[in-house]
Amino acid sequence: MHTRRIGDIDVSAIGLGGMPLSIEGRPDEARALATVHAALDAGVTLIDTADAYHLHAHEVGHNETLIAKALATHDRGADVLVATKGGHLRPGDGSWTRDGSPEHLKRACEASLRRLGVEAIGLYQFHRPDPRVPYADSVGAIRELLDEGKIRMAGISNADPGQIRQADDILGGRLVSVQNQFSPAFGSSEPELRLCAELGIAFLPWSPLGGISRARELGSAYAPFAAVAEAHGVSPQRVCLAWMLAKSPVVVPIPGSSRPETIRDSVAAAELTLTAKEIATLDAV
């Protein structure tokens, strides 16, 4: 597996997004664990989760607990960087809410520590800005968690360029990652990607294949991806991830998966080399 850098840690060039294993349409636990184990077998050493990845109000942290169980039952589990997030919530009715208050973020981090069964979280990310709370206050809480040693590295998610620069300043130059939505269907995070490349901060595209419901439609919705895939004899999804990797060395896609076969296909993107002409064609989509 090719590697990329997050902070001072080398991780697999393709990570695993845990959300599909815990929200609507989630698989049973046996298949969920098999999916995580398939990722580890394929060389994945980065798994992204969040306390908000759950269905019902009483099961906050479902995905964190699941990931912890999967890692504890695999001989490569100790080699994985687990990235989790706080500041987004699911009341249990299918909606998403936000709480970026320092008090909530600190409580959320403590709960994530317990569920993951670790003394310090490898990468903790502020999940989404809360318009009711000054951004500096939310990131300030992340800084305190970092200074206290409760998290080893700090990141932010769903941020614009101004917030990236502000967060890095508040964290004293210790911002290691930005996790934003980015895919052929959602290209508006290009400015954030370019800024991360300029600053040497890892850029983690979430929903890189277009989301849970649209990933299978990638080839039919975007003909150039299907054409390049046919030329290489691979899936359009694999081409999409290879295209993202070619954009910058700071890009580390985290495709979600709920089946072993799909994460295996995603991981294989790290081995797919696209020509300059192919990349230019895909960039123009």
Active-site annotation, residues: 53
Q: Where are the alpha helices (DSSP H) in 148-235?
A: 161-170, 190-199, 218-221, 223-232
* Three-state DSSP state, 212: coil
* Angstrom distance (rounded) from CA 139 to CA 145: 10
Q: How many CB atoms lie within 10 A of CB 2?
A: 12
Give Cα separations from 118 to 63, 78, 82, 143 (angstroms): 15, 11, 10, 19
Pick from 120, 117, 126, 114: nearest CA to 50: 126
Q: Which amino acid is at 270?
A: A
- Element holding 38 (H helix, E strand): helix 29-41
Q: Dihedral of the CA atoms 8, 14, 15, 20 (nearest 10)? A: 160
Angle, CA of 20, 23 and 25, to the nearest 5°: 75
Q: Dihedral of the CA atoms 136, 120, 21, 156 (nearest 10)? A: 20
* Angstrom distance (rounded) from CA 193 to CA 105: 26
- Cβ(84)–Cβ(50) under 8 Å? yes
Residues 6+ apart with CB under 8 A from 131: 98
* Three-state DSSP state, 97: strand
